Structure 1
Amino acid sequence: MSSDPHEDSDPALTLLRDALARQDGEDLARALLLATLPPVPSGDRAPVLALALEASWHTLHEDIARALQVHRDPRTVPALARAARTKHAYLAYDDSHAFARKCIWAMADVGTTEAHAHLQELAQEADPEIAGYARRRLARWDEERGRKGA
């Protein structure tokens, strides 16, 4: 039993932290499911999900990016920006850059000036797919304002 009373009140957060500490992909998948069930309180979940997004020992990166899009937490923007540039070996078959696209969508849906700035940087990437996804989100920034967290 945890000594942190807030942690015990959020089983998803407890399982997320434990799965990360043990590098347990199965528990991470369970925690991810719990962390995205409605209602989705961001609280401390989103930053822990951002840590999981950048961990290399699992194969749930696309699912985590999607969960972070749901959370729309500004604290996750730097991790999403770094992850959009990350190439995971297990995703090498995917020429469409689906993982980068999900990270870019998640950043756009956060909707902060920091997210906008990171998208502007990604729009200058050498990889034309990543740059194109970022440019599309920037081009639709104002149209999509209603879906943004900020």
Structure 2
Amino acid sequence: MTPEEQELIMGLAVGLGNGPTRTLDEVLAHFGESDGEALALRLLRDAMERQDADDVEMALILHAAAGASVEEFLEPLTELFPADWHRDHEDIVRMLGRLRSPRTVPTLALATHWVPEHLEWDENRALAVKAIWALGAIPGPEAQESLEALRDDENEIIRENALKQLARRGEL
């Protein structure tokens, strides 16, 4: 993606105190597309193939602006999550959490323990906390087992959040 195309897509993002400066129709017209979800998926797959962190971010911005479903993005997002060459791990966990699908449990469980290099500074373990809360919203035994495995975790933040989710689910 060219810097101009990245700037165009960034115009879809809502900044601090500012609304979008571009419309989805403008972006779609530029790319010669009519379906924002299809374009976002194509751009995401292309960024993954090239391992381009900036273009991953652009694809996720476009995904949000297009109001695209996460279901169509499940496979590439779960494939992308453990890659250490991008910076969108928290966004991926948030998106997978919206699905509330047992199919996301392995990726969310990984997110409770793995700390990408760019998040090593975060003593509050925001990525893990987001993953735990996402697991808490997923029905079924897979999510339950993942949360139970965290109830005795050595990290207090992880342990407390897992216990909160188990209590919320009525499993304590």
Higher Cα radius of gyration: 2
TM-score relative to the length of structure 1: 0.78
Partner of 1:120: 148
Query: Is 2:87 aligned against 1:67?
Result: no
From 35, 45, 50, the counterpart of 1:17: 45
Residues 129 and 48 (structure 1), Cα distance of their counterparts in 2 relative to 1, 3 Å cut: same
Q: Return the structure number with greater relative CO, CA threshold 8 A, min gap 6.
A: 1
Look up the equivalent residue of 1:102 and give its one-letter code: K
Partner of 2:62: 34
Determine if contact 1:49/1:64 at 8 Å carries over to the other structure. yes
Q: Equivalent pairs: percent with the same residue?
A: 37
Deviation at 1:135, TM superposition (A): 1.0
Residues 58 and 39 (structure 1), Cα distance of their counterparts in 2 relative to 1, 3 Å cut: closer
Once the two structures are overlaid, the 10-residue window that deviates more, 133-142 or 27-36, is 27-36
Deviation at 1:53, TM superposition (A): 1.6
Determine if contact 1:69/1:106 at 8 Å carries over to the other structure. yes
Once the two structures are overlaid, the 10-residue window that deviates more, 52-61 or 32-41, is 32-41
**Structure 2 residues not aligned, in runs of 5+:** 1-35
Residues 35 and 123 (structure 1), Cα distance of their counterparts in 2 relative to 1, 3 Å cut: farther
Query: Is 2:116 aligned against 1:88?
Result: yes
Deviation at 1:92, TM superposition (A): 2.0
Secondary structure, aligned partner of 1:130: helix
- 2-structure distance, mates of 1:80, 1:52: 13
From 93, 103, 106, the counterpart of 2:131: 103
Deviation at 1:67, TM superposition (A): 1.5
Secondary structure, aligned partner of 1:51: helix
Determine if contact 1:123/1:132 at 8 Å carries over to the other structure. yes
Determine if contact 2:71/2:99 at 8 Å carries over to the other structure. no
**Structure 1 residues not aligned, in runs of 5+:** 1-7, 143-150
Determine if contact 2:81/2:89 at 8 Å carries over to the other structure. yes
From 68, 76, 85, the counterpart of 1:57: 85
Look up the equivalent residue of 1:108 and give its one-letter code: G
Determine if contact 2:108/2:132 at 8 Å carries over to the other structure. yes
- 2-structure distance, mates of 1:34, 1:74: 26
- 2-structure distance, mates of 1:53, 1:69: 13
TM-score relative to the length of structure 2: 0.69
CA RMSD of superposed structures (Å):
2.1
